[in-house]
Chains A and B, each alone.
Chain A
Amino acid sequence: MLALTVNGEPMDVPFGTSVAGLLALIGLAAKKVAVERNLEIVPRSLYGDILLSARDQIEIVHFVGGG
């Protein structure tokens, strides 16, 4: 397993998990979120291609109410 940090929380995922795979594991629709990996934006078109590494710091954000 790979030990990641996702939105500040520890999370273990199987080796070979892509960004798309991570979103699927969590149960999130890719088109409603944005993902940052180690402070770099992951373009949505690459979600399926980019494989996660141990200790990756992942941020998954979406739009919420705000002024």
Chain B
Amino acid sequence: MGIQQPLGGPLRGFVESMRRVGSRPALYVDGKVHSYEELGRLAGRIAATIRKTSPPSMPLVALLAHRSLTAYAGVLGILGAEKGYVPLNPKLPAERLLRILTLAGPDILIVGKEARRHLELLLPKLPQRTVMICPDMEDLDGLSASFPQHQFVPGSAMAEGALTAAAPRAGGDPIAYLLFTSGSTGDPKGVPVRQSNLAAYVRYIADRYAVNEEDRFSQMFEMSFDLSVHDMFVCWEGGACLYAMPDHTVMAPAKFIRDHAITLWFSVPSVIGVMEKLGMLKPGLFPTLRASLFCGEPLLGRHAQVWQEAAPNSLVENLYGPTETTIAITHYRWDSALSPDICKSGITPIGRAFTGQKTCVIDSTFHPVAAGDSGELCLSGSQVTQGYWNNPEQTKKQFVTLPGAGDEIWYRTGDLVMEDRDGCLQYLGRIDHQVKIRGHRVELPEVEFTLREASGSQQVAALAWPVKEGLAEGIVAFIAGDAAQDVGRILQHCRRVLPDYMVPSRIRFLEHMPLNVHGKTDRMKLRELLKEEQQ
């Protein structure tokens, strides 16, 4: 795959905005506004401290922080030190964070004070000697004494330095960030996204929505979710201000949008469903919005229309894309007059590839299907990453060449789609056992792996349930064999190792697991059992 020279990478946009509109607001977080100069100054010190501490051969730095000045300056500082960031969501169980740290192997951890309690849980088990850079903490003597094998750098001891966007070395294309998604083997799967991948995305999107310094971006996504990368870098590319939403506003954000006159909104579609059920969406509610983007799970046409009426001055777009192809790679603009008739099963199309990116719909022999036929969606272009982190087997399976298409690499999404005669793609579902819960990718085999660990039974199954209007709301587990198991203990184990959205809402015990004619778990039968329960 050809590497596109990133010309200073994703940091270039921030640094240029800092030069151009340095005194303008770049970030609103914890009730305070920070200018480009202020944010850049802190990021420069973080970058200088990383450079002083870690050899250039180490490609990654982990970031344990959440919606704080340290979190955002940390991202910029890590990139300024020419390294990629590995976001650690403090809300995830400590065991999962340790697994990610073991897989990624960073020697530096940037820690925000809001995550100090989580750091104390991780410290006894960190897999290697680590330097903790703590920009907003001073009192670290106790930790230094308890964990002499690690180094702690308080804010006052950080190095001085300016934030710059260096062009990568010739032929180089450093990792911008490494995210971990649910993996089917029980381990999270790492996706390294290169600077060239991110730069291609940011340039295209910032141009498309004509982002400028008057804009105010919502920032709702956790940093461990790649849609947060859009919020930060598209915003700063145009010199706009990023509004980090406090946790308590995320579920019901209407007041936040209005109070801060947000102009560009980006969220998972299920936020519309929640707001609608709470009676919060009314026509004309959001007059300041000029672009509303939704991504991460199917967008119901009904929801797109309700949002369009609430935000009459806004364009409404459905974005689609797996983490492996950098945030999003296709888009569809909602049209209140035409779109309702185009929706399939009530779901908004995912539209067409971004200019410069490519789609191909293939059959089981990897050959393109005819227009109007369904098949697996494959993606290619400058946004497509090069493979999984230290996982050649999965890389070989998902990143492939297609017959007659030369040596071009295509990413197999596992998504079943249909392309109509106008080239518009419709999302039809998955071809495997991956589901989306509240926008998060969940490999059901990973949940089943954990259930086997917890129960000792080999006959387990995890099902997305209930599924309403094509959207999965949670997971129900089945365990066959020993009905005398302690449900609470099994669920506690799941909570210890899995993110909350992957923990089954309940467990049902069966004497025998139903099997289909091929001897595999009969998931249809399990679904029927759940339907019977409802009646």
Does A pair with B?
no
